[in-house]
Structure 1
Amino acid sequence: MTRTVNGSTTHAGQRRQSLIEAAYQSIAQEGLKGLRTRDVAAQVGMTHATLHYYFPTKEALIEAVADYAVFQKLLVDVPYDNQEGSPRERLHQFLITLQHNIREEPTHFLVLYELARYTRQCPAIREIFQRQTFHPSWHRFMATLLDEGIRQREFRADLNAEDGASILMMFILGLGTSLLMPVPGDPEQMIQQIEHWLIG
């Protein structure tokens, strides 16, 4: 087995993951301003120097937290690459599962929102978000589904798939921000209205 300075590859992966989870919880509870790498290291029984072995900079740790919040938390069980069912069914399942994840555990979205708040004032955080692939990949996924649905006559013929995907992205972001500023209405009924619009 390949060895690292701090033990086996598996052990190193576990230690790295524990640092990410501790930083995630710190941002969730204290905000980004409250994130202290020394405190994160102490929470998992490591020295500050050991943390820097895994994450040379604070920005590297923040980037790992953003990736963790999206791919290991927010998108859990979301049928992202599922090819079963019609385009309409797949899009419905994607939206329903994603909104369920946002509602059941709002921390995932709120951590991302907290990081996103700093993109205007902090170039390093802005670069982290520019490198993230989840926004363009979600857009591509939905545009592809809409295009398939248009060709199969499941969605309205005058729908522009690219613009439709952008509108769906804004709707998803709105579902998340409604955790901070609640709006009237049931999310599943909103999804039904979006689907009615897509069908025409």
Structure 2
Amino acid sequence: MPAKKTAAAAVPGPAEGALREEQLITIAAHLFAQKGYEGTSLRDIAEQAGVTKAALYYWFPEKEALFQRVVAGRMAALVQMATEAVASAATPVEKIRAFLICSAEQIDHDRPGWISTSNTFWSNFDPEQRKAIVPERDRFERLLRQCVSDAVADGSFRDVDPALATRLLLSGLNQLPRWHKPGGPLTAVQVVEQYLDMLLAGLAAPRKD
């Protein structure tokens, strides 16, 4: 009987299991951000988490499963949050602002996840893994591009190329984690708010008096 109790205690309950799984995902995100997907092994993740490699297999039997949760999962969640933020705004320009502020909030909230997703997209050439990321990345970009197109169509923006304007807006966002330091004088959101004030003024159509 005591042996049975010990064995049962070794199996995590639902709450404990979910907590441990999220901890492992967070550790993997940090390591993917620091060392890249190819440079991170399951042993690295297990050692950082203070568990054996065999214990790590209980949650994630292969690195691909962690990749899906850290990179593909976070990208899909970002697209969903950006979609909801855009839907809650009224005008095309307000939608652009909502899109970028929502994205900056994710940089503040989960910088390692953002960096690991970005790094994995640009440096990972495995066709199966890219197949999991590229459609979500394209949805993300198309959402912002549609907002820019609508701003041109309603006269809020000058007659600019929506694709180029979208890439300009996304470039500032994607490069931000490379130089911005957490705990500095400005949050990522505050930086993006200043970016928006500068960029939207430059894109705005001239007033007709």
| Alpha-carbon distance in structure 2 between the residues aligned to 1:166 and 1:64 | 31
Does 2:72 correspond to 1:93? Answer: no
Does 2:53 correspond to 1:57? Answer: no
Q: Secondary structure at the match of 1:114?
A: helix
Relative to the length of structure 1, the TM-score reads 0.65
1:18-167 equivalent positions in 2, closer than 5 A = 18-67=23-72, 69-70=74-75, 80-99=85-104, 102=107, 106-120=111-125, 123=126, 126-132=127-133, 133-156=135-158, 158-159=159-160, 164-165=162-163, 167=165
| Alpha-carbon distance in structure 1 between the residues aligned to 2:205 and 2:15 | 49
Contact 1:20 1:64 in 2 (8 A): yes
Q: Deviations over 1:13-38 (max 9, x none)?
A: 33322221111122334444542212
Instruction: Report deviation, 1:179.
Output: 4.6
Cα distance change of structure 1 residues 14 and 25 upon mapping to structure 2, 3 Å threshold: same
Larger Rg: 2
Indicate the RMSD between aligned Cα atoms, in angstroms. 3.8
Structure with the larger helix share: 2
| Alpha-carbon distance in structure 2 between the residues aligned to 1:181 and 1:12 | 36
- Corresponding position of 2:196: 191
Q: Aligned pairs, how many? A: 184
Instruction: Report deviation, 1:94.
Output: 2.1
Contact 2:72 2:132 in 1 (8 A): no
Quick one: percent identity of the two aligned structures?
23
**Unmatched tracts of structure 1, length 5 or more:** none
**Unmatched tracts of structure 2, length 5 or more:** 1-9, 181-190
Q: Deviations over 1:91-138 (max 9, x none)?
A: 123224434654787544432343234324xx2xx5323312431222
Relative to the length of structure 2, the TM-score reads 0.63
Q: Deviations over 1:127-178 (max 9, x none)?
A: 323312431222232233234444544344x45xxx5156414531343235
Structure with higher RCO (Cα < 8 A, 6+ apart): 2
Contact 2:99 2:144 in 1 (8 A): no
Equivalent AA in structure 2 for residue 136 of structure 1: D
Cα distance change of structure 1 residues 102 and 16 upon mapping to structure 2, 3 Å threshold: closer
